[in-house]
Chain A
Amino acid sequence: DGGITQSPKYLFRKEGQNVTLSCEQNLNHDAMYWYRQDPGQGLRLIYYSQIVNDFQKGDIAEGYSVSREKKESFPLTVTSAQKNPTAFYLCASSSLLVGAYEQYFGPGTRLTVT
C-alpha cells in the first residue's frame, strides 16, 4: 500500500534533549513537508523540500532541523533550542506535477517534552 509513515506515534522526551521524528513515503513524491499543530489551531509549516539535498524554511523553522538525503525520507529533528516543542507533528508529501498539488499526510507524531 502506498502512503506515508511516521514513527513513533507518541514520543516523550526530557527538556534539553534533541529528538528526531521520522517520515517515510513510498508515493514517489518529490516534495515533502513538516507541519506543527497545536490544540485549537491550524497547521503551521516548519520545513519543506522539493528535491533531494535541498530544503527551505517554513514559517516556524527556529529550533528545528531537517535533512533530505533520500527521496523517500525527510526526518525532522526537534532541538533543545525549540522553546515550546510539545505539539502534534505531521509530515506530508505531494507531487510537483501540474494539477496534482494536494498534499497527503502521515498519521502524525505526538511529542511531549517535560
Chain B
Amino acid sequence: AQKVTQAQTEISVVEKEDVTLDCVYETRDTTYYLFWYKQPPSGELVFLIRRNSFDEQNEISGRYSWNFQKSTSSFNFTITASQVVDSAVYFCALSELGYGGATNKLIFGTGTLLAVQP
C-alpha cells in the first residue's frame, strides 16, 4: 500500500534558523511523483514543488531546497534562514497513477506544523 509518513508533528524554530522537514514514502510503483504543499493559516494549500521518480537531482528555489533520495525513499524539504512568514503546515504527498498515467489521487502525509518565532 502507498503511504507517506511525516514523523515530525510540530517544529518550532527561531527566525533565521535553518529547518528540515522530513518525508518518507512507500510505493510499489516504479513511476511516481512526489509533491510538497504549504498550508498557511488561511487554509488554502499552495503547491511548492513536484518531483518525478526518475529525477533525483536536488532542487533549490530561493530559500527552499529539496533532497530526493530513492535509496531511502525520502523527499526532505529544507528552509534556509527561516522567516515568520514560513509558519504554516507543510504536507508531503505521493501520486497514485491511474488512467493515462495521470494522477488520480494524492496520498498525503499528516503534515508538519512549522512555527517560526521572531
Contact = CB atoms under 8 A, between A and B. Distances in A.
Given A50-B102, A56-B104, A96-B100, A88 B47 contact: no
A45 B105 CA distance: 7
Contacts of B45: 43, 90, 92, 105
Contacts of B35: 102
Interface string A43-71: 11100101000001010000000000000
Interface of B: 4, 33, 35, 37, 42-47, 50, 52, 91, 95, 99-106, 108-111
Top 9 nearest A-B pairs (CB, nearest first) are A42-B108, A101-B103, A105-B45, A96-B102, A108-B43, A107-B44, A43-B108, A42-B110, A102-B50
Given A45-B106, A90-B44, A101-B102, 9 more contacts: A31-B102, A42-B108, A43-B91, A50-B104, A58-B105, A90-B43, A97-B102, A103-B103, A108-B44
